[in-house]
Amino acid sequence: MWRRESVPQFRDTCRCMSDKGQSKLITNVDDIERVAVLGAGTMGHGIAQVAAMAGFTVVMRDLEEGFLESAMKKIAANLDKGVARGKVSAEDRDATLSRLSTSTSVATACEGAHLVIEAVPESIDLKRETFAAVIETAHPGAVLATNTSSLSIAQIAESIPSPERVVGMHFFNPVHIMKLVEVVKHEGSSEAVVQCARDIAAKLGKTGITVKDTPGFASSRLGLVIGLEAMRMFEQGVASAEDIDTAMKLGYGHPMGPLELTDLVGLDVRLSIANYLTETVSAGFTPPQVLKDLVAAGKLGKKSGEGFYVWKDGKRQS
């Protein structure tokens, strides 16, 4: 239950309630102070970092304290690197860290939140369950954003009684560096909430594009075509992983090859997206055997230490 006495920002959030006492949607980015980020993995920790850097008060939630500690360490290391390179001042680093806290409780993390961004694993059931839990304590007009790479925003939005405040906000990896956010609107999304999501993206220093709610949106659908074909070529022995990647880097000017990018994204994440696009778009997205085998062996890419390449301390070894 939403307990007003336990929400320090209640007076502020009252600004967003209509005369009838019904919740009014938050549609002005300036009304957003508290942000909850659910899932502190590859994407969640990056989203929490950029939100705190932009001045929001951020609570990150994951299932275990250990995951949250590791996420906080990654954020601190990113910020330290920024300071060493002269891109972030020491004061901004300290202020960013002071705006971040963590919790293993979804209720606590979302309490009074004006914006919730979920970055839990790519499963429609999990995302629906997550939003159903979020609305118990989040501000009743909160913007609810999902970082899904491919799933139907409408199906996720159906899990709560006010689907108009649900949008996709699809960030890219690594979040503190990549400039794009796909803002995905489903048929029932409020236009004002979609605009607010674009304003939030701008406040985070990103460029937002608006995309219709279709499987894989504008980016994952195209990116996966190249990624899956590169895996098939690797499987068929067309060239080594490194040479396939070099072909796209030097031949097409891609900043990173498709197999290295798969390691960065996470092989499990790419497999989930491929399975979903196979069901919803075309059999052309059927995952190659090598991808299924590597995931079954726990070789998930950079985050597990091995995928198409070997990784140590976040650096590619071979």
Ligand X SMILES: NC(=O)c1ccc[n+]([C@@H]2O[C@H](COP(=O)([O-])OP(=O)(O)OC[C@H]3O[C@@H](n4cnc5c(N)ncnc54)[C@H](O)[C@@H]3O)[C@@H](O)[C@H]2O)c1
Contact set with ligand X (CB under 6 A): 38-44, 61-63, 67, 119-122, 126, 130, 147-149, 170-173, 265-266, 269, 303
Minimal distance, residue 22 CB to ligand X, in Å? 29
Give dist(CA 217, CA 317) in Å, integer: 33
Cα dist from 117 to 17, 37, 65, 298, whole Å? 22, 5, 19, 27
Number of Cβ atoms within 10 Å of the Cβ of 179: 10
Could you tell me which of 180, 153, 176 has the C-alpha nearest to residue 164? Answer: 153
Residue 139 tokens, joined = 């501000």
Minimal distance, residue 81 CB to ligand X, in Å? 19
Q: Which residue, 122 or 306, is less far from ligand X as judged by CB?
A: 122
Give the residue nearest to ligand X (CB): 41
Number of Cβ atoms within 10 Å of the Cβ of 186: 21
Q: Where are the beta strands (DSSP E) in the chain?
A: 34-38, 57-61, 100-103, 115-118, 143-146, 166-170, 180-185, 207-212, 311-312, 315-316
Minimal distance, residue 104 CB to ligand X, in Å? 9
**∠ CA 43-261-41, rounded to 5°:** 20
Q: Which residue, 78 or 130, is less far from ligand X as judged by CB?
A: 130
Minimal distance, residue 237 CB to ligand X, in Å? 27
Q: Which residue, 241 or 295, is less far from ligand X as judged by CB?
A: 295
Q: Which residue, 56 or 276, is less far from ligand X as judged by CB?
A: 276
Positive/negative CA dihedral, 77, 82, 86, 91: negative
Minimal distance, residue 90 CB to ligand X, in Å? 28
Minimal distance, residue 231 CB to ligand X, in Å? 16
Q: Which residue, 96 or 150, is less far from ligand X as judged by CB?
A: 150
Residue 192 tokens, joined = 């004002």
Minimal distance, residue 17 CB to ligand X, in Å? 28
Q: Which residue, 16 or 71, is less far from ligand X as judged by CB?
A: 71
Q: Which residues contact 15 (CB under 8 A, 6 or more apart)?
A: 31
Q: Which residue, 31 or 118, is less far from ligand X as judged by CB?
A: 118
Output DSSP code: residue 228: H
